[in-house]
Amino acid sequence: MKKTQISFELSIFETPEELSQNDQKLLSEAETARDNAYSPYSNFQVGAAVLLENGEIVHGNNQENASYPSGLCAERVAVFYAGAKFPGVPIKAIAISASSKKDVTKTPAAPCGNCRQAIIEYEQKQKSPIPILFRGKVGPIYKCASMADILPLAFSSSFLGDS
Ligand code: THU
């Protein structure tokens, strides 16, 4: 039996001013997207901003539904919209901002497992890492260099057989 450690580097920024200009802008776009979330059931608002290689920034936010499972997370709305509007254009970075309406979220809310899986598909397809930046409404900003960092041992199309 062998054991191995899987670890990754998380960058922690205390304020947005510590970020690069590009990351500050992307985070502020995610905050705008967050404020437009449709989340009357959870009152938890999430916004995602996707920067594409062609310079376009695409927004997504969570879209809820009275039939709860029919809703979708902000991150998937954003990457699916990017894939629909700009097919094949690689993703350079994603910023996420999340906060409850009931209580200001101060801890960075990382993307859920389903969103990680959806995003890593694009990372594998474009063969280059997608940095992910995430923050609550206030407080520190976390940044990981790649979705693979926070989804180790990911499932991919390589398991499906004919690749
Ligand atoms: N949500 C997201 O938009 N992204 C995540 O990564 C986690 C959760 C949304 C789904 C739902 O509308 C609300 O937050 C509460 O779970």
Has residue 89 been placed in a domain?
yes
Q: Is 64 annotated as a binding residue?
A: yes
Domain CATH for 129 = 3.40.140.10
Has residue 66 been placed in a domain?
yes
Has residue 42 been placed in a domain?
yes
Ranges of the chain whose pLDDT falls below 50: none
Has residue 104 been placed in a domain?
yes
Has residue 61 been placed in a domain?
yes
* CB-based contact 91:117 (threshold 8 Å): no
Residues 6+ apart with CB under 8 A from 62: 37, 38, 39, 42, 44, 45, 46, 71, 72, 73, 74, 77
pLDDT, position 54: 98
Q: How far is CA 67 from the centre of its chain?
A: 24
Has residue 88 been placed in a domain?
yes
**Closest atom of ligand 1 to CA, residue 64:** 12
| Structural domain boundaries, residue 96 | 10-152
Has residue 157 been placed in a domain?
no
Q: Is 115 annotated as a binding residue?
A: yes
From the list 14, 18, 53, 75, the catalytic residue is 75
Report the predicted TM-score, pTM, of the whole model to 2 decimal places: 0.97
* CB-based contact 17:27 (threshold 8 Å): no
Q: Is the CB of 46 under 6 A from ligand 1?
A: yes
Q: How far apart are CA 91 and CA 63, in angstroms?
A: 22
Q: How far apart are CA 49 and CA 94, in angstroms?
A: 6
Q: Is the CB of 110 under 6 A from ligand 1?
A: no
Q: Provide the domain count of the chain.
A: 1
| 31 in active site | no
Has residue 142 been placed in a domain?
yes
Helix axis angle for 74-85 and 113-126, nearest 10°, is 30
